[in-house]
Structure 1
Amino acid sequence: MVLIAILGYLTRWICDDALIFTRIVQEILAGNGPVYNIGERAEASTSTLWQWLLAFAGFVFGQSDTSALSWMLGLLLTAAGFGFAVSATSRLHGGHVAAMVPAGVLALLGVRPVWQYATSGLETGLNTFWMALCWWLLVRSRESKSPRSVVAAAFAIGLGPLVRPEQTLVAAVFLAALWVVTKPAWRVTVAAVAAAGALPVGYEIFRMGFYGIIVPMPALTKNASESFWARGFAYVGDFGNPYLLWLPLVLCTVLLAGLLRRRTDLVVTLTPVVAGVLSLGYLLKVGGDYMHARMALPIFFLLMLPVLVVPASRKTRVVSVVLLAWAIFCGSVGQFIPQDGKLIDDERGYYHAWTGQAWPTESADFTWRMQYLKTAARPGMLTYEGPGPHQRLVTTPLRPDVPSKSMVVGIYLGTTGVMSPVDAGVVDFWGLANPIGARFDFPTVKPGHSKPLSNAWLLADYADPSAPVPSPGNFAVRADVTADEVAAARHALSCGDLAEIQRSVREPMSPGRFWANLTGAVHRTGVTVPPDPFAAERTFCGHP
């Protein structure tokens, strides 16, 4: 716990994605609900529990800007998670009776991204803590099989979908193992199932009724239901190669095999391994991520849980010495170097350079780069960047029925969000918080960065229809943004499924709107939008 806390503190940082949470928390604490923009219900975060945990921390400490709190809370949860995990593994292998030597914990501490994502402002610390808690509760269930303990453990394990959607798979494996280990009576089983599903199912009903879809919006943006196996294998290789992870994985597999030959409680020992392997399969299928190591770290943590510490023997001491030497070497020189064309970023290195700060840990470290937006954004106006030789900011009158006092296009969604007051809107250029852009039928190249919102759609959706469209000859806008293109996009937005999507996120919430959102969520989630306005008009309005 001390080591990971020190190493995490020495590499502390937050990223722009963390500021997305900050923006949502600001809206929550201002009384506008869990939205990114006032009057537009879009779920821009993928960790529901982290979002509300930050909101609670902001409420307790009286800070609507939770950017600094996010890395501190992440580091605290990571350290606590390591404590729970090592305690559970020690208990699994004999508690305080036998001497233990470190093994898997050295493998984790030797990988620099483990230190870096102990902070980052993202939900990784919460993820680590939740997995460690599940492990601790499962090991404890061998001795404590009272109905109350089983139901409490099921409740905690069932929080997985709220930590991150893909942790539903891990939660299911741990819940199955809990049932096998405790063999509860049928009444206790029913109570445990109800406890495990209470919050996730309740929140899913809320999500469908409030947001009108069945998944967080970034899942639509990243095409999470599709398969990208080649990219997934490349992502996993990109994580393992810089740190020679084959060595600790082979050594820890040997240790695990030795433990399994001597133990009878195979279910408990293998549960995190099975969960990790299944999660690895899912990661390979969805194609990984654009952030180096981020999505692979929870899997690595799961695989190491049964062998974090192992009973001392001559063989395990030798293995531990080898792992210690590897950890020191890898932690000192093992470093990821981004390569052109791989579309996988060193996020901490990028934001270190972009902000000019050795430890970018609060929103002020980011916003100085974009101060021009504060002077450009004007009440009643839509401000956007007109691509062209000069990349000039363009303003045009805002549509009268937009509830925000002004709108600004955000390339850096988190940074632009925290710079803008809660009553000023931010249009997400990449579709993570834009109900139309998230559904664009673009192929996914770089997850979360493959669906740019063109100016035609931007003007059609937010600009005053009576305002003239800048002429094609204007150097500040794209030459291909014409009045006809904007008119086609605006017409498409008024037809069929697109019109219903607009109503589902912008119509004032009422019992009738909630029910319409709830019953139409499945269909609405599957709607895709042609990026070309004329094609979209034909698709949704039926025009030739």
Structure 2
Amino acid sequence: MLAASPSLFWLPVIPWAELVARYRAGLAEVTPWAIGAGVFVALVSLPLLLPRPVAPRALRVVLLAAVVAFGVTWGFHLLWLGDDAFISFRYAENFAHGHGLVFNVGERVEGYTNFLWTFIIGVGMRLGLSPIHVSVALTLASFAAVILQVDHLAKKLAPWRAPVTVSFAAGLTAANYVMANFATSGLETMFGAALMLAALISALHQRPLAAGVFGILATMTHPDHAIFYASLAVALLFDRARWRGILWYAAPFVFLFVPYFAWRWHYYGDFFPNTYYTKSGGSLYFEQGWVYVAVTVFGAGLFAAIPMAAFGVVRRFRHFLSRYFLLSTLLYTLYVAKIGGDFMLGRLFVPVLPLLFLFAELGARELFAARRRWLAPAGLVAILPVFLAALPVHVIKPIEKKWHIADERSFYLVGKEGDLVPRSLYVQWARDLLTYVVSHDVHPLVAFGSCGMVAYYTKLPLVDIFGLADKTVARKPIERRGRPGHEKIASPGYIVSRGVRISELSIYPEPYSRISEVVIEGNKFYFPVFDNHLADSLRAAPAPFFTDARGWIDRYKAPSDFLEGMSCDAWFMEEYYFSHNADPARLRQTRDKIVRANPALRGLEHFLLVKPEQGAGFSRVRALHLDDPKEGWHADGEAFAEWPSPERIAVQDLVIHHDGPFANSMVPHAGDVGTGRLTSRPFVLTGDAITFVIGGGRNRETLRVSLVVDGQRVRDATGCMSEIMGHRVWRTSELRGKTAHIEIVDEANGGWGHVMADEIEEWKLSRPASP
């Protein structure tokens, strides 16, 4: 894993110039919004410039209703449903059907962090409601609640000399693109923000038990809200009028959160959610996190809101909500920067923005309420730039991924009619699988990265390539920092070992990757292994296109470079087809082809295209165990400085088809940079064949396993550009009685500059093998 940033304030990486240029370009595209924002400012500010600013109650109600209606309409206009939401829907559906809160039935993996949200949707599904409709209704209702809560707080906290007609902050919350963007989405974001604001309002009205309940419910909606819950506890503890209620505030933590946490720890077996491990939550990623913070500032138009909010906090610092806002915002921003932010534009700051707008408004109203009347126009001038936050300026364009961040909405737009199905490539993938696979009563294990929609719509068991719902992938080390939540990827070996039958990722190197392709309605997937039953089901429909492995094997002709080419062809045939299909006739015919191409293997057909076993007259006479010191292996160079490897090296994909510890020239924490040689002690050849498994890079000179006799290399083998190790066999009958040794050599650097070997065994035939 790359070293973390040495500084908490990694500001030089922030692309200030480009952000400014993008914001200026986007600003020119939102003139209608600028006019609307100006009209809103005039309506709410005019009463404040009168000698006795008073607004009739009816007017206040009408204006507030208009703001809420605008916000909800704007949010619904931006309607979208993210793929991550469908991960929760999958959990909720299994819960509703009695399988528990699991992604795949029978696998307890906590691939979500929004327990309360998922539970509510699950209850809705149990009642026969669509999770899409439930989530959209709840997020829109939460958005309306947030607008009303901000207005309520503004009216309670505003100076008496500057009473609120309708809250500036409520209007900004309704109009702000980041806020309205998460007024749908299917995610828990807005729901959690509404719960935390409810906690603040309860605390303001000196109802500590209710405040504690809402704060804990927010934390159970998303763990990040624990920062806000704890910050409110500190603010209450140091408030003279409220500190006596701290035990009531803490009671829900003891009697609600602790039992919940104990249950989830017992149920899933991990202290943290699986997503914590997926995102390496304990690591530092400040260099990306500060970029995320900066992009949010520009994307939400917060240039003027931040200094105005700071002024509001200073002016009202004696109020416990000011101290809460200051503490929680500083801690939370540092936390967001530490974890690298998020890949969704602005999402993590949705709980912060309403209060930021609120304190910006309070700062302006302090100027309005000043005894010196000339400061009232100054307050108006100060508040005008804050309304930049109402303009939907796109610093990241639709369908763009910039600085590892995207406006996710643009990838998952939803029509406003019917079942609200997202217009997404992943929905099309799900439909293809339903039409051409599931409809034929075939339910294979599949592997996808953006897996929510595919899993929810197909109901197929699924391996999450990015690891949110997979413990093994989640615990891989991060090799290279990148887009948060997308830095760990299931390896080809892991996908094969899980028994996956259709994968989004290619498993094999070229040219075998093309052979394993399956194209359905123009969408390309891959067969990790060729399953005859699945293939026959797909052949029944006209749309899927794939290479039938049986026909390819039957038409196979040996390449000219036998030692490398045919060895890898045989590896692919065994791994892709023969290890997973009982086809003795085709196995026998293919072995005959190989022997005709290489007569030296005649009599050794028993070892071709299968795992070597005793039988056909062969018995094992020697096994050169790599993990046994008595075998006398000797290592030179840094490549084999730490051997045998009990498992893959930290920077390496999962290695499969070895038996226990094996030889591996990958260098811990450095990868393919090392070179070296591993040599066995001399031994006398007494058998007719040597078998072993080999993997890694492909080069017979620099990456090889060799049999050395009398100082000369007499047999060589190399890998096939894969961590899926494959079997090899050498004839040694003509070398019986000679002294030999095995050497495993890595003289390569760079990509795939490593070699692996294991299961080196010598075999003897009870009757002489044919020459």
- Band of TM-score, shorter chain: 0.7 to 0.9
> In the TM superposition, what whole-angstrom CA distance separates every residue of 1:267-305 from its partner, at most 9, and x where no partner exists?
232212211111001011111111111112323334334
What one-letter code is carried by the residue in structure 1 that aligns with 2:475? R
Cα 1:58/1:447, change in 2 over 3 Å: same
Instruction: Give the corresponding residue for 1:349.
Output: 410
Cα 1:7/1:358, change in 2 over 3 Å: same
The offset of 1:246, in angstroms, is 1.3
1:461 to 484, 491, 498: 498
Instruction: Give the corresponding residue for 1:511.
Output: none
Residue 225 of structure 2 is aligned to residue 167 of structure 1: yes
Cα 1:299/1:332, change in 2 over 3 Å: closer
1:180 to 213, 228, 238: 238
What one-letter code is carried by the residue in structure 1 that aligns with 2:432? Y
The higher-RCO structure (CA 8 Å, 6+ apart) is 1
Q: Tell me how large the CA RMSD over aligned residues is.
A: 3.6
Structure 2 portions without partners, runs of 5+: 1-67, 502-506, 517-527, 529-567, 580-648, 664-771
Instruction: Give the corresponding residue for 2:98.
Output: 31
Cα 1:372/1:345, change in 2 over 3 Å: same
Which whole-Å CA distance do the structure 2 matches of 1:368 and 1:485 have between them? 27
The offset of 1:30, in angstroms, is 0.8
Quote the sequence identity (%): 21
The question of whether the paired residues in 2 share the 8 Å contact of 1:377 and 1:408 is answered with: no
Partner-residue secondary structure (3-state), 2:406: coil
Q: How does 1:313-352 map to 2 (within 5 A)?
A: 313=369, 315=375, 318-320=378-380, 323=383, 327=387, 331-332=390-391, 334-338=393-397, 342-352=403-413
The offset of 1:51, in angstroms, is 0.9
What one-letter code is carried by the residue in structure 1 that aligns with 2:260? Y
TM-score by length of 1: 0.74
Q: How does 1:214-363 map to 2 (within 5 A)?
A: 214-260=271-317, 265-308=318-361, 310=365, 312-313=368-369, 315=375, 318-320=378-380, 323=383, 327=387, 331-332=390-391, 334-338=393-397, 342-352=403-413, 357=415, 362-363=420-421
1:427 to 452, 457, 463: 463
Which whole-Å CA distance do the structure 2 matches of 1:226 and 1:459 have between them? 30
- How many correspondences in the alignment? 456
Instruction: Give the corresponding residue for 2:138.
Output: 73
Which whole-Å CA distance do the structure 2 matches of 1:170 and 1:215 have between them? 19
> In the TM superposition, what whole-angstrom CA distance separates every residue of 1:139-180 from its partner, at most 9, and x where no partner exists?
111xxxxxxx33332222233421211211110011222333
Instruction: Give the corresponding residue for 1:437.
Output: 473
> In the TM superposition, what whole-angstrom CA distance separates every residue of 1:292-332 from its partner, at most 9, and x where no partner exists?
111123233343344555465354665456545653x6545
Partner-residue secondary structure (3-state), 2:351: helix
Which whole-Å CA distance do the structure 1 matches of 2:304 and 2:458 have between them? 48
Q: Which deviates more, 343-352 or 363-372?
A: 363-372
Which whole-Å CA distance do the structure 2 matches of 1:537 and 1:222 have between them? 29
Cα 1:419/1:105, change in 2 over 3 Å: same
> In the TM superposition, what whole-angstrom CA distance separates every residue of 1:361-382 from its partner, at most 9, and x where no partner exists?
7346442454221244459999
Which whole-Å CA distance do the structure 1 matches of 2:419 and 2:438 have between them? 29
What one-letter code is carried by the residue in structure 2 that aligns with 1:415? M
Cα 1:359/1:280, change in 2 over 3 Å: farther
The offset of 1:531, in angstroms, is 4.6
> In the TM superposition, what whole-angstrom CA distance separates every residue of 1:14-46 from its partner, at most 9, and x where no partner exists?
111111111111111111111111111111211
Cα 1:451/1:193, change in 2 over 3 Å: same
Structure 1 portions without partners, runs of 5+: 142-148, 383-404, 488-527
What one-letter code is carried by the residue in structure 1 that aligns with 2:85? A
What one-letter code is carried by the residue in structure 2 that aligns with 1:373? L
Which whole-Å CA distance do the structure 2 matches of 1:416 and 1:176 have between them? 44
The offset of 1:340, in angstroms, is 5.9
Residue 429 of structure 2 is aligned to residue 372 of structure 1: no
The question of whether the paired residues in 1 share the 8 Å contact of 2:115 and 2:221 is answered with: yes
Which whole-Å CA distance do the structure 2 matches of 1:172 and 1:54 have between them? 27
What one-letter code is carried by the residue in structure 2 that aligns with 1:447? P
> In the TM superposition, what whole-angstrom CA distance separates every residue of 1:191-244 from its partner, at most 9, and x where no partner exists?
542322322221211121111111221121111111111111111111112454
What one-letter code is carried by the residue in structure 1 that aligns with 2:350? L
Q: How does 1:52-71 map to 2 (within 5 A)?
A: 52-60=119-127, 62-63=128-129, 65-71=130-136
Task: From the CA coordinates, give the structure whose radius of gyration is larger.
Answer: 2
The offset of 1:427, in angstroms, is 1.4
The offset of 1:410, in angstroms, is 2.3
Q: Which deviates more, 48-57 or 331-340?
A: 331-340
2:211 to 127, 149, 153: 153
What one-letter code is carried by the residue in structure 2 that aligns with 1:79? A
Instruction: Give the corresponding residue for 2:157.
Output: 92
Going by fraction, where is helix more abundant, 1 or 2?
1
Which whole-Å CA distance do the structure 2 matches of 1:13 and 1:297 have between them? 16
The question of whether the paired residues in 2 share the 8 Å contact of 1:156 and 1:196 is answered with: no
Partner-residue secondary structure (3-state), 1:534: coil
Which whole-Å CA distance do the structure 2 matches of 1:532 and 1:450 have between them? 13
Cα 1:190/1:446, change in 2 over 3 Å: same
Cα 1:473/1:333, change in 2 over 3 Å: closer
Cα 1:330/1:472, change in 2 over 3 Å: closer
Residue 452 of structure 2 is aligned to residue 414 of structure 1: yes
TM-score by length of 2: 0.53
The question of whether the paired residues in 1 share the 8 Å contact of 2:343 and 2:484 is answered with: yes
> In the TM superposition, what whole-angstrom CA distance separates every residue of 1:55-90 from its partner, at most 9, and x where no partner exists?
233334x22x30232122101012112212321332
